[in-house]
């Protein structure tokens, strides 16, 4: 166990809806990154938050947004869900921005129907 | 942009034998890190081994070792004395070393099956 917890573990949403995924980072970690892992593929970087500010972003549209709270937990929000958003969403926390020490949660499996 | 390629979608090995997983990458960076991650059915990504590009010595972690060929942009993982618990997806990953919004770029993965 890494101490990074994600909720919920699974959920099903309808196309066009909005979803919020949550990540509780490991104690002492101020950096959180989010990844999307489509079935049968490697994870793709969505964005990273460091001390409550976005610190880097991958090639994802603006309907993917996030927040980091003062306790360094984080949310990933996806608006106007599309079928292709169905994936495993992974959260990783690090004790610093240079995340060679990234610790991953077990992910949230999102299915869009 | 960086790319990471794993050319072996699936591999199998007998328990106690040795297996090598391949990874190649493309980058114009000179300072970077390379990783191998394991993803068992529990879905949690677990760091197996890490290599700093500026280090010529290949990293080792118990039964796991890498063959890092910087000029060839190759980074293979060798698993010795394979165990049933090594059955998992393995991902090779790249990260720039500039300490600014770092992200991991993953390959497509190799599914490893260890057979009894």
pLDDT at A7 over 70: yes
d(CA B82, CA A4) in angstroms, rounded, equals: 28
User: What's the pLDDT tens digit per position in B4-48?
Assistant: 999 999 999 999 999 999 999 999 988 899 999 999 988 899 999
The DSSP code sequence of B17-43 is S-EEE--EEE-S-SSEEEEEEEE-TT-
Closest partner residue to B50 among A40, A100, A106, by Cβ? A100
Percent of chain B at pLDDT > 70 equals: 96
Highest mean pLDDT out of A23-32, A76-85, A93-102:
A76-85
Give the A-side interface with B, CB within 8 Å.
2, 33, 35, 40-45, 48, 55-58, 88, 90, 92, 97-100, 102, 104-107, 109
Strand-pairing partners, residue B11, are B112
Q: Taking CB atoms and an 8 Å cutoff, what residues of chain B touch A41?
A: 108-109
From the list A2, A45, A88, the residue facing B104 with the nearest CB is: A45
A57-95 burial: b if 16+ Cβ within 10 Å, else e: ebeeeeebbbebeeebbbbbebeebeeebbbbbbbbbbb
- pLDDT tens-place string over residues B54-79: 998 999 999 999 999 999 999 999 99
Average pLDDT over chain A, rounded to whole? 92
pLDDT confidence of A97, banded at 50, 70, 90?
Answer: low
The confidence score (pLDDT) of residue A98 equals 63
CB of B100 within 8 Å of a chain A CB? The answer is: yes
């Amino acid at each position: 166990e890494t101490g990074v917890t994600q909720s919920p573990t699974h959920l099903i949403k309808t196309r066009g809806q909005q979803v919020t995924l949550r990540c509780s980072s490991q104690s002492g970690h101020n950096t959180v990154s989010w990844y999307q892992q489509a079935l049968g593929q490697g994870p793709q970087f969505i964005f990273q938050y460091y001390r409550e500010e976005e610190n880097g972003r991958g090639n994802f549209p603006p309907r993917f947004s996030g927040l980091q709270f003062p306790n360094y937990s984080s949310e990933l929000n996806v608006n106007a869900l599309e079928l292709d958003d169905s994936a495993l969403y992974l959260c990783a926390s690090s004790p610093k921005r240079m995340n060679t020490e990234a610790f991953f949660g077990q992910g949230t499996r999102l299915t869009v129907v | 942009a960086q790319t990471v390629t794993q050319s072996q979608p699936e591999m199998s090995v007998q328990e106690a034998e040795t297996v090598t997983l391949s990874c190649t990458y493309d980058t114009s960076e000179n300072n970077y890190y390379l990783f191998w991650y394991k993803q068992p059915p529990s879905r949690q990504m677990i760091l197996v081994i890490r290599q700093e590009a500026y280090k010529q010595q290949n990293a080792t972690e118990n039964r796991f070792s890498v063959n890092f060929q910087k000029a060839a942009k190759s980074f293979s993982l060798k698993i010795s004395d394979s165990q049933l618990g090594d059955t998992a997806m393995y991902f090779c990953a790249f990260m720039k070393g500039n300490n600014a919004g770092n992200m991991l770029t993953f390959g497509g993965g190799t599914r490893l099956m260890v057979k009894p």
